[in-house]
Amino acid sequence: MKKLGTFLLLATVLVGCQSPDPVQKASPELQREYNAAFQKMLNDPGNLDVVMAYAQVATKTGDYEGAVGAYESVLLVDSNLPRVKLELGILYYRLKSYDTSRIYLEGALASPALPAEVRKPAELLLAKMPKQSKSQRT
């Protein structure tokens, strides 16, 4: 039991040490584009064009956390933006954070302002959501 516990602890530590940074894995050109977009956002954080541009290049780079941070900041400007919630639902799905993805997708679909043409893809994603913890929902 002790050996098992030690092994599991070690395994957890090893798993925890694996934090691949998609930005560092990106091509030099994409890294430059990413860094430029990030610096621009730091210097002009209230400019929505700049924030969205960063979110786009972060997504392209695979830095979904960076993109999530950018979109989450926009929800403070207006908390009822179904397209932003849809984008967050997609990003959290990509991160395999399914419970959070479901919350945002359901929020997007609940809004009558979500355009009809993107409802179908959103519903598809929601339907394909793995039932990771669905049985625990209240």
Partner 1 sequence: MLQSKAVVPLLLRALLVGAAVLGLFGTAHAQGRIGVTQSIQNNPVGKPPGGVDRVLRVGTDVQANEIISTAADDRAHLVFLDGTTLTIGPSSSMTIDKFVYDPATQKGELAVNATKGVFRIIGGRISKTSTIAVTTPAATMGIRGGIAVFGVQASATTSILVFGNSLTVTANGVTQTITVPGLSVTTPTGGTPGAPTIAVQGNLAAALGALAGNATAAAATVDAIQTLVASNLGNAVTLQALIQAIIVANTATPITTTTTSTNLAVIVVPENPNQTQASPN
Q: What residues numbered 80-99 form the site for partner 1, per CB under 8 A?
A: 80-81, 83-84, 86-87, 90, 92-99
Of 25, 36, 79, 110, the residue at the interface with partner 1 (CB under 8 A) is 79
CB of 36 to partner 1, least distance (A): 13
At 86, list the tokens: 């849809």
What is the three-state SS of 36-48? HHHHHHHHCCCCH
- Closest among 83, 79, 78, 80 to 55, alpha carbons compared: 83
Residues from 111 through 130 that contact partner 1 (CB under 8 A): 113, 115, 117-118, 120-121, 124-125, 128, 130
Residues from 36 through 55 that contact partner 1 (CB under 8 A): 38, 41-42, 44-46, 48-49, 51-52, 55
Residues from 4 through 23 that contact partner 1 (CB under 8 A): 4-6, 8-9, 11-12, 15-21, 23
**In angstroms, rounded to a whole number, what is the distance separating the alpha carbons of residues 138 and 129?**
17
Give the other-Cβ count within 10 Å of 64's Cβ. Answer: 19
At 88, list the tokens: 């967050």
